[in-house]
Amino acid sequence: MKSPDSSGEQEIYSEFLEQEKVSNDGMELYFTFGIIADVQYADKADSYNFTRTRKRYYRQSLHLLQSAIEEWNKEAKVPSFVLQLGDVIDGINVQLQASDVSLQRVLNEVGKSKAAFHHVWGNHEFYNFSRNYLTSSQLNSKHLEDQQDSVSKTRHKCVSDDSDSEEYYAYHFCPFESFRFLMVDCYDLSIIGRKPSSKKYQDSMKILKEKNPNTDLNSPEGLLENQFVQFNGGFSKEQLEWVNGVLTFSDENHEKVVIFGHLPIHPDSTDTVCLAWNYAEMLSLLQSHTCAVCYIAGHDHDGGYCLDSHGIHHITLQGIIETPSGRHAFGTVQVYEGSMILKGRGSVSNRVMHYRKQ
């Protein structure tokens, strides 16, 4: 893929800043980070989705990941890290018996990045791999969490080397003074990725069947709350309590927190069929902590955005897998004292995001 002409790009970007009536004169750029979602790579011919409305470009997705990394590596300020928002290889790899080889191809590309990748686990990770496998794989980026500060020492049942089947995969890190990034596990409650013998599987099946009477639990047909489908999941009480603890620490320490996970949590930022089961609980938790400034998700390939009633920005990033040849879908976020600026590529829009009042 051709990289954009940098002077032309700068011109467009300056125009954009002018249009938004934001001047970056005198604003100190603290750090930047990359965002990319739903690569869903497979070594397979392009084909349509289940409803035959959207084409998926399985092989090209690897090249788009590659070119995104090349562009990040060339940026004047190389991103401090990249958020890979989940579904990095497609579930079709199971049928192709190519889960390991496809993951390795993706990881070979990731290995060329100057910036460390934080890997979120989405439904397609769980179609391909068990939680135990993921925990010991290179898709477990928990080693990048903060080891130093006191909030990290708060005990929680998070995924670790001696993982048991009830743990969740979530952690946080502080890349710059007063800024924290918090990964949440949207498939903590789920019937994919959990062993059928586990309590969380059984509890999740009960919730799903109560909300979804369809024979095919992946079908949202006729549902009042159409997020209750098998390809979504939710947050356990213990994870919500742990998030509450981290955000309380951040409130007290006047930090700004960006939360990220695979599933969107605001109905105005996505097609509601892509929401986390108990999105409302996570949403009200974030709204009750003034440190929470932004939530970033993938999963809905069309993408979306909203600014909620409490001033939290909700970004649902467009999926690489449905991005046709000649287009792209990733972004770099520049972080300043008073705002973050999303510099989108291809179908991802540029956006200025001021922080909510603390």
Q: Which residues bind Zn ion (CB under 5 A)?
A: 87, 122-123, 299
Give me the sign of the Cα torsion angle 41, 45, 50, 56. positive
H helix runs in the chain, sequence order: 6-19, 60-74, 92-95, 99-110, 123-128, 131-135, 199-211, 237-252, 279-287
Q: How far is the CB of 242 from Zn ion (least distance, A)?
A: 23
Q: How far is the CB of 44 from Zn ion (least distance, A)?
A: 17
Name the residue nearer to Zn ion (CB basis): 174 or 296.
296
Task: Copy the structure tokens of residue 24.
Answer: 């970056």
Name the residue nearer to Zn ion (CB basis): 317 or 353.
317
Instruction: Give dist(CA 265, CA 97) in Å, integer.
Output: 33
Helices and strands of the chain, counted as H and E runs? 9, 14
Other CB atoms within 10 Å distance of the CB of residue 175: 18
Q: Is 222 left (phi over 0), alpha (psi -120 to 50) or beta?
A: left
Q: How far is the CB of 191 from Zn ion (least distance, A)?
A: 15
Q: How far is the CB of 147 from Zn ion (least distance, A)?
A: 30
Which among 340, 338, 341, 358 has a CA at the least distance from the CA of 350?
Answer: 341
Name the residue nearer to Zn ion (CB basis): 170 or 246.
170
CB 229 within 8 A of CB 220: yes
CB 3 within 8 A of CB 71: yes
Name the residue nearer to Zn ion (CB basis): 274 or 286.
274
Name the residue nearer to Zn ion (CB basis): 87 or 255.
87
Q: How far is the CB of 122 from Zn ion (least distance, A)?
A: 4
Q: How far is the CB of 189 from Zn ion (least distance, A)?
A: 16
Name the residue nearer to Zn ion (CB basis): 38 or 308.
38
